[in-house]
Structure 1
Amino acid sequence: MNFFDDVPEPLPRPRQPQPVRPGWSGPPSDELPGVVHIGGFLYSSPNAVLALKLVEVYSTGCLLDLVWTLRRGDESDREWRDVMDQGFNHPASRMAGDNGLMVGVAYPDGRKAIASHPDPAMFEDVTGPVLAVLGGGGGSGNDHMVQSSARYWLWPLPVEADTRLVAQWEALGMPESSLVVSGERLGDALGNIRTYWSE
């Protein structure tokens, strides 16, 4: 007889219902998004670039994929270390205050969302819009350049008209700059969404 032969089977337990996630908290977990390749600059200078690579469109909102690159100029080693530290400063970090990358969205009807504001509580009644940081894609840096990225969840999906994406990074000398995102292109991408399960 094997030592484990008489281990009893666990008692069956009832399956827990699938929790309903509010739309503003992130993309649906059962959708493959439609993708809009933007490739547009929010800001560009001889030593700094901030760009929107693409937008992943879901039925409820969209993910904005931002990237930035900082190029060393005539900074001393100490000054460049400070620039590198700032370049890796997570966007909208509660610790960053006004020094980090500030990102916001202006809807066509005058409403706006700013990523530095606290996210709503999970069970709060939210009317939107909401812009939330959903993490960064990491980064790299050396004696010549710093590169990093971040993703932002925007809810609800603005398809009625064009939306303006706004950014500012005072510590790095980036003034308030913006890029227009086409509502028509976001709306067209809705037709490319694929759901995982057909019920």
Structure 2
Amino acid sequence: MLLGIPGLVFAIGSAATAQTVSREDAMRAAIHPVRDNGAMQAWLSRVPVTRDFPDDFTSTLSGHGQAFTIEMSTAPGCLPCADLWTKLVALGRHYGWQVRTIGSQEAMLRSGRLGLPWVGHPVAWVRPLADVNRTIPVAVGTDHRPNLARNLYLAAKMATGVRPDVGVRAMSKFTGIVGVPARASTR
């Protein structure tokens, strides 16, 4: 059935009738705390996997490994943290990048400096070895290995001269698959 312009306008409605989404609603929709492997795999199964890479992908990742480090936050009992760590270490070995953990306080400070809301562990950043203050977020929650490799590639490009708005737009789809926050013990 062909609607034509008047029918299309009627079907779409006006912008004034669109529902306003609060920041809290957006956060709830974007963050997926998981307690077990089944829940984590269920969320990961919904995440598209990057399949196309630029011609200089491997040479960029291999060539920049000595200049950058990957740093990630973690927490005891955090399943997505263990999953992300395993994938980042494998990528680090393959391309020659260092991978290390950072503490929760440092992770929260970095997130705040970049204007990212703190959503939980894990969060991963890339930074030049020579500049501890120049960080680029590459993961909020765990992700598929090809997507993580894509984000490492984009971080290397951004840090070495690609216009940041291009890289940020390409990396903006973080999964938000994080660990369930530990409950505070009551005495």
The bucket for the TM-score relative to the shorter chain is under 0.3
TM-score by structure 1 length?
0.24
Structure with the larger strand share: 1
Structure with the larger helix share: 2
The structure that has the greater radius of gyration is 1
